[in-house]
Every structure is written in structure tokens, then in C-alpha cells.
Structure 1
Amino acid sequence: MSSTKTPIVLIHGLWMTPKSWETWAERYRALGHEVIVPGWPGIDDRDVADIREHPEALRGIGLQQIADHYERIIRALPEKPIIMGHSFGGVLTQILADRGLGVAYVGVAPGQPAGIRTLPLSTVRTGFPILSNPFARNGAKPISKGHFHFTFGNDLDRAASDAIWQDQAVNSYNRVFFEGVSSAVLGRGPSKVDFGRADRAPLLVIAGEIDHVVPPAIAKAIVKRYRSSGSSAVVEYREFAGRTHRLVSQDGWEEIADLALDWALEHAVPQQV
């Protein structure tokens, strides 16, 4: 792998904290990269137990606020980074790409931005505990062990999935989920991006074959939308057999982490000196 020391920003997804990126972050740091893994506003550097016990800081926070939070962090860096995001972090990665903040982008099982209406039944099921109660739009609902097993641990037996839930899972930002779904359906809202932007740095979309949250149908629809926009900006797709939504930590994650970084370094837009 290249020894280029481009900084890397990793963005976690819903129900997770920066801890979900420990695997990739440690691997990239061992290669000499500065790796920045900020938490969403309200999560910051808090531990999982504290967030579960005191989820109040997660309530009412939306995609715009989270994207602005990451933009402030990235603009404070001495140079533009590679930006990688998982799940809803992949939506944020696309929003930040639309703002021109990185030299290359990787969406790992990324959620869809506004206007991509592909919603397989498994995706709808993953959001049902939140979407079924619109009166809790600004709440912070915990994810049950059973729902976590369907959403993140569908390659594991229940005991192994429960162990990961105990170690990593936190409450939801309900507003983020409502905004993500409504933006996708209506084609407007805080996740809206300019698919046709010609000066966007290269984007790689990675999907897992048996992902229940962002199955390949969604990932392919994202790539198709960018490619059909008329933009010459690079957008590529990779799919991994037997992989779930837990692409960043499922057995064999090293292969995906290495591909993501190699691709990003190869395609990164040169920075002006």
C-alpha cells in the first residue's frame, strides 16, 4: 500500500459511535496516516454506556447540523483529507463531497441522498422502529438487541450479535432517519446534492451482498444516479460477497479497508500547494 500520508476522516453511522471505526483507524494509523474519527454532535468522545444512560444530547439533531459539524472539523485541517463514511456516514460523505471538502471519498454501504427513491423491504424494516412513531421525530430511541441482529449482525448467531450490541450500539438520532427517508422520497431536503457537479473529487461506493440496511440495489442506484448526471467526475462501485452492513468490522474487513485506501490514494485529486 502507498505510504502517502494523506489525512483521513472517518464518519460513523446511525446507532454507532467512533468506536465502530477502530479496526480501519488503527490499520491506517499503522501506515502513518493521521486518522480523525469525530463523533456526531452529542456523541463526541463519550463512551457507549454514558450515551445510553444519557441520550438527551442526541435529540432533535439533524443532518444539516451534523454535516456542518464535520465541515468545521475538516476545514481546520492543514490539508484536504480523504473522507470515508459508513451508512448514514456515507450520506454525510456525499454531502461533504458536494461541498468540495475532500480529495477522494469512499461511501461504505452509504445511505442514499435526496432523490434516490430505491427502498428495498429490508431497508424499510431496519427503519420501522423509528418511522412507526412520527411523534418521536426528535427523539433518541435505543436499538433493541433483536433489531440490531437483523440490522448489523445477520451473519452472526444471536449471542455474538448481542456482544457487539453491548460493546457498540447507542440510541438513534430519530430526526436523521426521518430526514433521510423523506429527502430520498421527495428529492429535496438536507441530504440533497448536485449529482452533476463536474469538479467533485472521485467517489467509491462499496456494498455488501447480504446487507439488510443498504443492500446492493441502493448502492447501485446511487452510482447510477451520479453516472447518469452528465458529470465527468469519477464514481466507481465495488461489491463484496457474503458481507453485511457491518463491513467495517465483519471478518475479512482488512480486504475492504485496504481496497478503500488504495483506491482513494490512487484517485485522490492533487492538492494545490
Structure 2
Amino acid sequence: MTTPVRTPVVFIHGLWLHASSWGPWLDLFRDAGYEPLAPGWPGEPDSVEEARQRPELVADTGIGDATEHFRKIIETLDGDPVVVGHSFGGLIAQKLLGEGLAAGAVAIDPAQMKGVRPLPLAQIRSALPAMGNPANLHRAVSLTREAFRYGFGNALPAGESDELYDAWTIPGPARPVFQAATANFSPRSQAKVNTANATRGPLLIISGTKDHTVPDVTTRATYRQYRRSGVVTELKQFEGRGHSLTVDSGWKEIAQSVLQWLKERQL
């Protein structure tokens, strides 16, 4: 009897969370019949503890470096994957989809792409740990407990935010934050996405309406970048959810919504 082919799903995390934070999603998607994997960013150690001890391993990694890293991983897979990304992972998921490397993609609170213009004060404040010092461009930066609470855990009880901080946070390269912030002034910005690709697969964009790191107005502006596209592009908003929505106690609501969308789109 032939074993059914399981569609690969590549999960891409954003800055300041370790790849292992996708663990519950992997279990859920595997049980749903997919072949999930959550590779880290270039140079990212296998454990949270080692990543905290060796920040230099990811320092100076840019959006282009990370995209190329995940492109090479996708090329080793049997069949075109679905790519699910959060924050800067959501931006990378859109880049990979625009390049025709995925059957479909889900961008959860995706980092700002070239062409997106809103820049709310909450987003600026959330970026200050990286951009507050120009020398951070070539460094990996860690969030303080307070910065994580503002950027990720603002919609959570303080205790839950602190638990997530202790469990999953790692230093992240600051370069992508600088690249996204200056994208509209750079003709060859690595934050550019091919939104005009008329042959790409379906795209779901998810927004948490209380997100400080990628506010809802920014995510809606990302969705509007596809307004001339004839390909399936959908926006789903989750009221009262912050940037922690993929790892906090309400993660399953987001994950099941993604699974339902994949089923509807036959992916």
C-alpha cells in the first residue's frame, strides 16, 4: 500500500524567538497530515540556552541572508511546501511565495515590506532595542523583559509574558530591523516582495489587532500591497491579540484557523 504524500510546511520564526517555539504547531500540523519543520535562522543554535550564550552566531544576518537560507532548505524538500512565517518570518514567507517557491503561504503579523508606509509610534518604540544604537546594525540584540512585554506580551497578563520571555527569547540580529525601516528609501531593498506575481499560490495574512511590534494598521497596509493581484490574498484579524499570538496560551486558535484556511484552499 502506497503511503500518502504529506505536504511539507516550513515554519519561519521572527526576531527574538527561537525556532523551537513552533513546537506545539509542529505537533498539531503533523497530526493533521502535514510534514512540518521549523528550521532556525542562519547560524542559530539548536537550543535557546546556546543561542543566548552565542549571540555572535546570528549577528549581522540580513533579510536576504535569511531568505536564501530558507530557499536552500525548500529546495531539498519533496514537493512545494506551504510556508508559515511570523513577524520577519512572515516577510520572508511572502518573499519565498513571490519567487514561486511555495504552494501557498501564511504571513502572521508580518514585518514591514517595501511599499508599506504607516509607521505607528508603537512600532517605532518596539524597534528601539535594535535601532536605538546605530552600532547595533552589525550586532545581535537581546530584549529586556520590559521590552518583550511591550513588543510581544502587551495583550497578556504580566506573568504569562514573563514566562514566554524566559522560555523562548533569544538574541536577534538587528540588521533586518534597519533594513525594514529604510526599505522605502532603498531601490534594491531586501524587504521588497514580488506582490505582482500572478502565478503564485494563495496567501493568508493574519493580524493581531493589539500588536505593538507590527500594528494592525501596518498589516492592513501590507494586505493592500496585493490589491491589484488576481491571486487569492486574504486578511484575517484577531481581535485583542498581540505579537505573542503564535506562542501564548491562545496559539491554538491561530493555528487551527490556519489549518482551516489550508483545507479550504486545498493546500
- So what's the TM-score if we normalise by structure 2? 0.93
Cα distance in 2 between the residues matched to 1:246 and 1:23: 14
Task: Supply the AA of the counterpart residue of 2:250.
Answer: G
Choose 137-146 or 153-162, whichever is displaced more: 153-162
Task: Supply the AA of the counterpart residue of 2:104.
Answer: A
What aligned pairs does 1:21-170 form with structure 2 within 5 A after superposition? Answer: 21-44=22-45, 46-170=46-170
What aligned pairs does 1:179-194 form with structure 2 within 5 A after superposition? Answer: 179-184=179-184, 186=186, 188-194=188-194
Maintained 8 Å contact 1:114/1:187: no
Select the residue among 239, 242, 246 that pairs with 2:240. Answer: 242
Maintained 8 Å contact 1:94/1:113: no
- Can you list the C-alpha shifts for 1:39-73, whole angstroms capped at 9, x where unaligned? 001115x2111111111111111111110000000
Partner of 1:5: 6
Q: CA RMSD in A?
A: 1.7
- Can you list the C-alpha shifts for 1:205-243, whole angstroms capped at 9, x where unaligned? 00111111112101110111111xx32111100001111
Deviation (angstroms), 1:267: 2.1
Q: Percent identity, aligned pairs only?
A: 36
Task: Supply the AA of the counterpart residue of 2:241.
Answer: R
Maintained 8 Å contact 2:99/2:194: no
Deviation (angstroms), 1:255: 2.1
Cα distance in 2 between the residues matched to 1:66 and 1:238: 26
- Decide whether aligned partners of structure 1 residues 222 and 185 sit closer, same or farther in structure 2, where only a CA change above 3 A counts: farther
**What 5-or-longer segments of structure 2 have no aligned partner?**
none
Deviation (angstroms), 1:177: 1.2
- Decide whether aligned partners of structure 1 residues 224 and 263 sit closer, same or farther in structure 2, where only a CA change above 3 A counts: same
**What 5-or-longer segments of structure 1 have no aligned partner?**
none
- Decide whether aligned partners of structure 1 residues 231 and 156 sit closer, same or farther in structure 2, where only a CA change above 3 A counts: closer
- So what's the TM-score if we normalise by structure 1? 0.92
Cα distance in 1 between the residues matched to 2:203 and 2:11: 14
Maintained 8 Å contact 1:115/1:186: no
Number of equivalences = 264
